[in-house]
Chain A
Amino acid sequence: MNYGFVNIYWRDMIRFVRFRTMLFSSLLQPALWLAFFGIAMSSSFDSLMSGVPIPPGAHAVGYLTFMAAGIIAMTTLFTCLFGGMIILFDKNWGLMREILASPMPRDHVIIGIGLSGMTKSFIQAIIIMVFGIIIGAGFFVGFSAVQIAIAVLGILVFVAVFGLGFLFLSAGIAISMETPEGMQGIMTLLTMPIFFASNALYPLNAFPEFLKVISTYNPMTLLINGIRYFAIGDDFMAMGTHYVYTTNDILLSFAGLVAFALIMYAFARWRFHKAVVT
C-alpha cells in the first residue's frame, strides 16, 4: 500500500496554514457574505413574505436560515473549484516534474489534493454554521445534542462528496492548462451557471422549464437539498415555498453527488495519465 496521497495532503495543508492572508480571507469571506448579503436580503425578503400563509406541519424559516445553507454550498464550490490551482503552479514552477517522475502513482496527487480541499471545506462549513447561528440563522432548532451531531455529520458528508467532485474537476483542468490566467477564466465561466442555476439564494419553482431541469440536477442543488434537510428539517416554509424532503429525495440527491464525484475522478485520472510535464 502506497500512502503517497498523505504526503500530497501534508504538503498542501502546510501551504494552507502558512499563507496567513489566504487562510484568513478564505475563512472570513463566507462570514462576510452571511453578515452583509444575508442580513440585508433577509430583512427585505422577510418583510415581503410575512403575509404568506404557512401550511400545517411546516415551520416557517427566515431568509437568513434559507440562504445560510446556500452560503455553505457556495463557499465549498469556490474553495474546491480553485483547489486544483496548486497543481498548475507546481506544473509551471517545477515541483510537478519531481512528483510525476517519482514512483508515486499519479492518482495519489488527485486523491491528496481532494482530501486537503475537503479539509478546508469542512473548516469553512463549520465556521459558517457557527457564525450563521450566532447572527440568527435557525439551524438545528429544537434538536437534541445527538441530533445536532448527526445533522452536522450529515452536512459534512454531503459537503465532502460535492467538494471532492469539484476538486477532481479542478485538478483535471489544472493539469491540462498552461497559465493561471486561463484557468481563472474557465473557473469563472463555470462558477456563474453552477451558482446561479441552483437553489442557493432562491427557490427553483418559478424558473423557466429548461432552467428548472438544469437546476434540479445541478450538484449545487443536490448539496443544498442535503444541507437544508439536515440543518432545517424535512418540512419547512421559506421564500413563500413549501419544502418537503423525503428520505428518498435525500438519498437520491446523495447518489447524484456520488455519481458526479466518480465521473469527475475518472476525468481527472484521464487528464493526469495524459499529462506531459517536462
Chain B
Amino acid sequence: MVAQPLTENEAIITVENLEFSYGDFKAVDGISFTVKKGEIFSFLGPNGAGKSTAINVLITLLALQKGKASVAGYDVAKDPQKVRESIGIVFQEITLDRDMTVWESLEFHGKLYSMPHTDRRKRIEELLILVQLENKRDVRTKNLSGGMKRRLEIARGLMTRPKVLFLDEPTIGLDPQTRMRMWDYIKDVNKEGTTIFLTTHYMDEADQLSDQISIIDNGKIIISGTSWQLKNTLGQDIIYLETSNNDASIQLLQNLSSVKDITTKSHGFLVSVHEDGTKVLPTIMERLHKAGISIDTVNLKKPSMDDVFVYYTGKEIRDEPIGKSGFISLRPGGH
C-alpha cells in the first residue's frame, strides 16, 4: 500500500495538453500526465469522464486531434504502427469472436501480433493454465461464463508481453478469488518490465496495485499522485486503542512527534497521526508494551480510495460495485 519512491525512470507514456472532441462535446479537455517506465498507473474517473477516449487516443484507435501523446517512445500521431507493436490491450467490452474456441482466440491474437509459432504455442499453454481455462480450450467463447470470457481476454492481452499493457477495467465481473489471482499475475508481468496502464472502478484495486493514480472528471485531470498522497489530501489516519490503562497510555503517547491529537472515548481513545498510520502504529505499541500497558483492541482507520474518489469527483459510481472502506483490524499483541 505504501508507494515506492519515484526513481529517475524515463517516461514511457507522455501526454501533453491532450484534447479530444466529439463534435461540440469536449470529451478530453487538455490533460497532461506522464507514466514512468515500469510503473502501474491507474487512471480513475466516473463513467463518461473521458477515460476511454483518452485511452483510445493512446492505443491509436482514435486519431489525435489536439496536443501531444507518445507511448513507448513513439508519437501516436506520427508512428501509430510502432505504438501498436509496443502495446497490449484488454478492452472494456468483450471483444471475442463468439464462434471461435478459446484456443483459436489466443492463436488468432498471437498471429495478429506476428508471434513466432513456438513462442505462441508455449505462451498459450501457460496462459490457459494461469486463467484456469485449460479444460475449456476447445469450447466456443459464446459458451463461456462472463468471468471466463474476461479471463480469456486478460490472457489474450498478456500474450505478447508488451512494453505497455492497457487494462481498461479488466476485472469487471470477476469473483474476488479470480481478481486476486489476476492482480498477482499483473504484478508479475509488471515486475518483468511491462508498464501497466489501468482503469478500474474497483478503488481497492487501484489502491493496492498502483504506483501512481490520476483522477479524471469532465475531461480534466483533477489530482495525481500516489495513493498515499491522494488519501493524505483528505486527512490523517486515525488509530483507535483500548488498553489496560488508557490515561497512562495517553500520557505516554501525547509527546510523540508523529501524534497530532488524542481524543478520549468511553472505552478507549483515538489517536490522529501526521504520518502513515501503519508506520506509527508499531512505535505506539512498542512504547505501551515497554511501559507494561497491555493493549486490548487496536483499529486503524485510513481514508479509503473510495473516499478520495468520491471527494474529488463528487459522485459515486452506481453501475459498478465499489470496494470496502479501509479498516485494518489487528488482534491484541499482534505485530
Contacts and interface: CB of A to CB of B under 8 A. Distances in A.
Interface stretch (A59-67, A87-95, A132-140, A189-197): A87-95
A100 B62 CA distance: 11
Contact of B97 (A4, A11, A100, A105): A11
Which of under 10, 10 to 19, 20 to 34, or 35 or more describes the interface residues of B? 20 to 34
A4 B99 contact: no
* Chain A contact residues, majority secondary structure: helix
A14 B100 contact: yes
A98 B100 contact: no
Contacts of B97: 11, 15, 90, 93, 95
A95 B91 CA distance: 10
Nearest to A102: B112
Contacts of B62: 276, 278
Interface string B84-102: 1100010101111111100
A103 B95 contact: no
The residue among B60, B81, B99 with the most chain A CB atoms within 10 A of its own CB is B99
Contact of A95 (B61, B89, B95, B114): B95
Contact of B84 (A6, A7, A102): A102
A18 B113 contact: no
A100 B83 CA distance: 12
Contacts of B156: 98
* Chain B contact residues, majority secondary structure: loop
Nearest to B157: A98
Interface string B234-266: 000000000000000000000000000000000
B61 A94 contact: no
Nearest to A6: B111
Contacts of B108: 7, 10-11
A104 B61 contact: no
Given A4-B112, A99-B112, 20 more contacts: A4-B111, A10-B108, A11-B104, A14-B99, A15-B97, A94-B95, A97-B61, A98-B89, A98-B95, A98-B112, A101-B61, A101-B84, A102-B113, A103-B81, A103-B113, A103-B114, A276-B61, A278-B56, A278-B61, A278-B62
Interface of B: 52, 56, 59-63, 81, 84-85, 89, 91, 93-100, 104, 108-109, 111-114, 156
27 contacts: A2-B114, A4-B111, A6-B111, A10-B108, A10-B111, A11-B97, A15-B97, A15-B100, A18-B99, A90-B97, A93-B97, A94-B93, A94-B94, A94-B96, A97-B61, A97-B95, A98-B156, A100-B61, A103-B85, A103-B112, A103-B114, A104-B112, A104-B114, A105-B81, A276-B62, A276-B63, A277-B61
